[in-house]
Amino acid sequence: MHEDIEKILITEDEIKAKVSELGQKITRDYKGKNLMLLCILKGAMMFLADLSRAIELPLSMDFMAVSSYGLSTTSSGVVRIIKDLDYSIEGKDILIVEDVIDSGLTLSYLRKVLLDRKPASLGICSLLDKPKKRRVEVPVDYTGFVIDDLFVVGYGLDFAEKYRNLPYIGILKPEVYKF
Ligand SMILES: O=P(O)(O)OC[C@H]1O[C@H](OP(=O)(O)OP(=O)(O)O)[C@H](O)[C@@H]1O
Ligand code: HPA
Ligand SMILES: [Mg+2]
């Protein structure tokens, strides 16, 4: 275990099992549709890589980079689009792939921006959900794990850009982020 981690919350095996279960559900639900996975960078890149391989359907992928946390553990409330999509989503069945929904500010902003572009449908799949932290409601179609109000890292999730490469999801020792 990494020396900055206090506790592993979700193990590598638990993540694998959940990703496979989500992939099977999505495969059933999107059969015959024009599926495009929309990965929200950077946090969701690991999840997208594994989830996309668990979906047994033809699909396309595109990437959008947004940021609201920067170097902090709380949302600034201002969502910035750093990289927009490469292609139009008009008429496509879009499934947003996120690592975590916390305040809901990122996804609620993105939903508005994306619905204006007239997709055939717009779904949300998030590996983690922290319902206790919600400041705005967001409709989530697929959830991996519901977790408590804890700042977590690993499997794509960062604190100040670090720990994204940990294969599990864990909680940092308080001395790492409280100074
Ligand atoms: O529900 P919210 O409170 O809006 O929080 C969720 C968002 O915050 C994180 O992104 P971040 O801004 O840290 O960018 P990153 O993915 O590049 O780390 C995370 O990846 C989600 O996109
Ligand atoms: O718990 C979290 N960890 C990392 N990034 C985040 N962005 C929102 N919540 C989190
Ligand atoms: Mg982040």
Q: pLDDT digit string (tens) for 133-175?
A: 899 999 999 999 999 999 999 999 999 999 999 999 999 998 9
Residue 74: predicted pLDDT: 78
How far, in Å, is the centroid of ligand 2 from the Cα of 170? 11
Q: If we measure between CA atoms, which residue out of 27, 34, 17, 31 comes closest to residue 127? A: 17
Is residue 178 pLDDT above 90, yes or no? no
Q: 34 near 92, Cβ under 8 Å?
A: yes
Residues with CB under 6 A from ligand 1: 40-43, 67-69, 75, 98-106, 158
Atom of ligand 1 nearest to the CA of 161: 18
| Average pLDDT value over all residues in the chain | 94
The percentage of residues in the chain with a pLDDT greater than 90, rounded to a whole number, is 88
Tell whether the torsion through CA atoms of 13, 16, 22 and 25 is positive or negative: negative
Atom of ligand 2 nearest to the CA of 68: 7
CA 78-160-153 angle, to 5 degrees, is: 100
Q: pLDDT digit string (tens) for 4-22?
A: 999 999 999 999 999 999 9
CA-proximal residue: ligand 2, atom 8 (nearest): 102
**Least distant ligand from the CA of 126:** 1
How far, in Å, is the centroid of ligand 1 from the Cα of 34? 27
Helix 12-29 with 45-53: angle, nearest 10 deg:
60
75 or 105, higher pLDDT: 105
Is residue 116 pLDDT above 90, yes or no? yes
For 28, other C-beta atoms within 10 Å of its C-beta total: 10
Which DSSP letter does residue 154 get? B
What architecture (CATH level 2) is domain 12-150?
3-Layer(aba) Sandwich (3.40)
Beta strands in 84-138 (DSSP E): 93-101, 121-129
Q: If we measure between CA atoms, which residue out of 96, 91, 37, 23 comes closest to residue 66? A: 96
How far, in Å, is the centroid of ligand 1 from the Cα of 118? 24
